[in-house]
Amino acid sequence: MYALSSFTDKAYTKIGYLGNLTFLDLCGAQNLTDDGLSSISRCGSLTYLNLSWCVRVTDVGVVAIAQGCRSLELLSLFGILGVTDACLEALSKSCSNSLTTLDVNGCTGIKRRSRDELIQLFPRLSCFKVHS
- Domains in the chain: boundaries: 10-129
> Given this model, what pLDDT does residue 6 score?
81
Q: What angle do CA 77, 80, 86 make, to 5 degrees?
A: 75
Q: Are 10 and 34 a contacting pair, CB within 8 Å?
A: no
The fold adopted by the segment(s) 10-129 is: 3.80.10
pLDDT of residue 131: 59
pLDDT at 132 over 60: no
Element (H, E) at 104: strand 101-104
Question: Going along the chain, which residue ranges are E strands?
Answer: 23-25, 48-50, 74-76, 101-104, 127-130
In the predicted model, what is the mean pLDDT of the chain?
93
pLDDT, residue 1, reads 66
Backbone angles phi, psi at 50, to 5 degrees: -105, 110
Q: What is the pLDDT of residues 54-109, one digit of tens each?
A: 999 999 999 999 999 999 999 999 999 999 999 999 999 999 999 999 999 999 99
- Triad 30, 37, 130: Cα angle to 5°: 70
